[in-house]
Structures are given as C-alpha cells and as structure tokens.
Structure 1
Amino acid sequence: MNNRLSLARSFARTRHEGQMYGEFPFYVHLDQVEKLGEPYGLNVMIVSHLQSLVDDTTTHLDELYAEFGETIALAVSYLTCTISEDRHHRTIKQNETLSTLEGFDESERLALIVKTCDQLVDAKASRVFFPERFVLYQKNYAEFRDAVYRPGLCEKIWLDLDRLMEVGTLLGRK
C-alpha cells in the first residue's frame, strides 16, 4: 500500500475517532468511498479519507496542505462547507460550490469524483438503513446531478447512482 494512502487513512481515523456512520465507525464510510474511487487513482483514494475532516473535526486545511500537498488540500477545500446551518442549507451551499468547478484542474477533478462516490455510498446506505433519508437523496438528486456531473468524469459511478435513484423511485410507487 502507498505510504500517502496509509497516512491519509491513519490521519482520518485518528481525527474521526468516536464518530459514527449510523451504527458503524465513521471510517467504514470512508473506506467504502475509497474502494469506489480506486479506479480513478491514488489521489482520489486519498481525498476519500480526508474529505470531511475540516467539516467534522478540528482539522484545518493548512494541516492537510502540510501533510498531503496543495492538490489534495485544495480538493478537500472544495468538499468543505463550514456553514453551521442545517443539513439542507449545507447541501445547497456545497452544490453551489461544486457547480462552479469545471473539472479540468486536478483538484477540481478529485473533488467531483470523490463527491460522486460519497453520494453513491450515502445513498446505498440510506436505502438500506434509513429509508426516510433515502427519500431526501431522491428528492435532491436532480440538483445534485446538475451541480456535480461532468460528461466523461466517473461515468460508471453516475450510471450506478442514476440506477439506484430510479430503482428506489420504482420501488416506492404503488
């Protein structure tokens, strides 16, 4: 395993210690995002572990810059939403930020891929464990897709996400 990836995993696990993802330690979620992002490269896997540190811990971007460099820290900054309002307003603000990214710059590309992987992991988990939250993912999906989708960027993840949202909709119909 790559030393930078090991460092990212260890760093995230230490900083997220005690935080939960439903009934599981938070790192389970990060590991799932990493696995989904693996085909898109090492930096995607690294950002997968660091994505929520600034939002959910006392970690600062300058620490990530010092440990992982500018590209990784900038990608995490695009995924960071420090407003302290409710989940709905944070989602709106993050979609606004992500919608400005073109995806040509490496940091932008990393952020868009990791956010897409994160969304798929969250939606799958919600469908199984928190059906009421899955309904919210479905409700907000069009806005998320408009903000984050870039043609040719992680198309397989988008195909799976589109299918999950459609299947969930079909299952909910009478």
Structure 2
Amino acid sequence: MIGDDIEEAARCFARAAHGGQTYGGAPYSVHLAAVRDVLDDFGFSGDLGVAAWLHDVLEDTAVTGAELEGAFGVGVAELVWAVTGIGGTREERNEDIYAKIAGCPSAVILKLADRIANVEASVGTRWFAMYASEQQAFRAHLGSILDGEKAVGQMWARLEGVLAMTSREATVRQVLERWRGREAPDGDSIVFGDGTLVTMSLVRRRFQQPGGGVLKPDEWFWQEDFRASAWSAVEWIDVDATFDSAVHGGSRAMVGESASNGSIGWVALTDDDEENTLRWVAVSGTSNPFHRVTLDADFVVATTTLELTWTFPRNAPQDVTIAPADPAVLAAMRRR
C-alpha cells in the first residue's frame, strides 16, 4: 500500500480499534483527524501521516505492537510506541514518552501535532489549564529535538501561541469558533443583535437553615463572565427544532432545542418581520429544551420540558429568573 491507500487503511484500523471510545463526546476519530490535519498544516505525511491515525492504539486499545508493525511496518510502529506513555500516573506516562522520543527524534513531530490538537480542542475547559501547567516540562524535555527544522519551530510557535491566551481570551475564541461552526457552545451564552456576545455561568442560590430545612425556593441566575464584540448578528445558533413561538407588539419570541448538541435549550427574541431580525438569543448549556413561550410588553417567559420557567426581561435577558412552574416539581427538586 502507498500514499492515500495506507492512510485510509490506518484510519479504518484505528476506527475499529477505538470502537465506541469518544473524545469530548464525539467519536474518537475526530481527535485522530485533528492530529492528521495539524501534520498536514506543516507539510508532514508518509509514516507520520499514517501514525497520526494510529498514535493512541497502543495506549488506549487492545492492539499490540506486533500487530501494528505487521500491518503498517517498523517505522510507523516505532513512532506510535514513542508517543505511548507507560506508567501509573500522568507524570510517569509523560516521562516515559519524553525518554522514548529522545531515542526516536521524528516522533517529536507526532507528539507536537497531538498536543496542538488537544490544546486547541480544550480551549476554555479545565483540560486547557492542565496542558498549560505541563508546558514548561513539555518544552524542557522536547524543545531541543529537531530544533533546527523550520516546521518544527513553527509547530512550537502555534502551540505556545494558543497556550499564551488568557482564560478570558481562550473562552471567547472557543465560543466564537464553535458558534461559527454551527455548534452550540458549552455553558450559557447570549448574543445580542448589536454584535455583543455575553457568556454566562448559571448559578444556583440555595436558601437553607443550618439544620437543612429550606427557607424558600432556590433561585437561579446568570452570572456574567465577560462580553465580546467580535460577533455578527447573523451568526447565531443553527437550531434543530422550534417548539413554540409567541408574538406581541411587533416582536416574536421563539423556543426550542439543539438536539445534536445534547438537547441544549434556546430562547430567541426577534422582530416579527420576514427576516426574523435578531434582538437576542439565549442558549442554556445546562437546561432541557424549551417547549412553551409567552411574550408581553416586558417579559419573555419560556418553560422547559422539566417544567421550569425562565423569565427574561426583554431588554436584559441575562437577568433571567428561574422557578418551577408546578409546586410538585419544586417538592421533587427539594428531595434530590
């Protein structure tokens, strides 16, 4: 096999080996493809391209080194083995990889591609912080390997450029990239028609006596994390389903879900015109789909499939209040 044929064979082999394993909720092949894309960005192919698809099979599946070598040759097997960490802790596995890459220098390219793909996929998450904390040791052990090659230097620059972002910058970038990719973001977000994006944390305030008795119902509110302006009003979520709408005074409220992103609920206020000109859309990464909505001069009231009502002031949707629509629901929530 040569060229595209062997890479396709590697892709199929890895897909079968990883089976039902996932990466951030997506099929594991998404990560493997991302590593291959990074290598392609810097002009690497051949054994490295094949190894990109296979780089986790020894560490995360039942595939053996002998099977890998028999199917794809010594060169590919050596690359994959070099980036396979052996040890009881993450630190021990990293140290094992560093030692093996020192004896197989070209494997640093594969490891860099893997790390770039992981870091770029984890922007705005706790994994991003973990990779950032490891970077000093990562660079100290691997930075001098193939340091004369221009493409390798460019890979380090790309990795460190992403890691250098503050968490605020990283989260802005993640949200914008995911929304522009027609995906719902993690967490709660509001996009305003003037181009302002606000990302929120959904906070639950509980009122309990020291002995555990409930003083009054829990309150939920959106705590603003930050605002960003790099947004276009037309780039809002590509929803899967609209379940209800209401019209009042030239405005329309709509509710529904993005089922392909975990039944994330959304509420939108638009003008009641042919274009449904957006005023704001609120997306909850932690709620059920919204299936009923009412609209008056002051509020948009959306109800989830768990019968929680979310009341949005029309001009300040981030000031939402959340309460059970049914007293029986409140009683059930207290028992949890």
CA contact (8 A) 1:53 1:59 kept: yes
Structure (1 or 2) with the greater helix fraction: 1
Shift of residue 90 of structure 1? 1.8
Distance in 1 (CA, whole Å) between partners of 2:128 and 2:96 is 20
Greater C-alpha radius of gyration: 2
Give 1:23-172 correspondences, 5 Å limit. Answer: 23-38=25-40, 39-83=43-87, 85-98=88-101, 100-101=102-103, 103=105, 109=106, 111-128=107-124, 131-149=125-143, 150=145, 151-153=147-149, 154-168=152-166, 171=169
Distance in 2 (CA, whole Å) between partners of 1:34 and 1:136 is 23
**Aligned residue identity for 2:162:** L
Shift of residue 93 of structure 1? 2.8
Name 1:2's counterpart in structure 2. Answer: 4
CA contact (8 A) 2:17 2:63 kept: yes
**Aligned residue identity for 2:10:** A
In the superposition, the TM-score normalised over structure 2's length comes to 0.45
Distance in 1 (CA, whole Å) between partners of 2:59 and 2:112 is 18
Higher RCO by CA contacts (8 Å cutoff, separation 6 or greater)? 1
Distance of aligned partners of 1:92 and 1:102 in 2 relative to their CA distance in 1, 3 Å threshold? closer
Shift of residue 117 of structure 1? 0.6
Shift of residue 44 of structure 1? 1.3
Q: How many residues align?
A: 162
Give 3-state SS (helix, strand or coil) of 1:6's partner: helix
**Aligned residue identity for 2:132:** Q
Q: Deviation per CA, 1:66-94: give whole Å up to 9, x if none.
A: 111111111111111232x2333322332
Of stretches 15-24 and 41-50 in structure 1, the one that deviates more from structure 2 is: 41-50
CA contact (8 A) 2:57 2:63 kept: yes
Distance in 2 (CA, whole Å) between partners of 1:35 and 1:120 is 10
Structure 1: give runs of 5+ residues left out of the alignment: 104-108
Give 3-state SS (helix, strand or coil) of 2:111's partner: helix
CA contact (8 A) 1:61 1:77 kept: yes
Of stretches 86-95 and 39-48 in structure 1, the one that deviates more from structure 2 is: 86-95
Q: Deviation per CA, 1:43-102: give whole Å up to 9, x if none.
A: 21111111110110000011111111111111111111232x23333223323333x236
**Aligned residue identity for 2:77:** A
Shift of residue 133 of structure 1? 1.6
Q: Deviation per CA, 1:142-167: give whole Å up to 9, x if none.
A: 11112222313422211111111112
**Runs of 4+, deviation exceeding 4 Å:** 169-172
Distance of aligned partners of 1:57 and 1:102 in 2 relative to their CA distance in 1, 3 Å threshold? closer
Distance of aligned partners of 1:135 and 1:54 in 2 relative to their CA distance in 1, 3 Å threshold? same
Q: Deviation per CA, 1:114-144: give whole Å up to 9, x if none.
A: 100100111111114xx22211111110111
In the superposition, the TM-score normalised over structure 1's length comes to 0.85
CA contact (8 A) 1:120 1:161 kept: yes
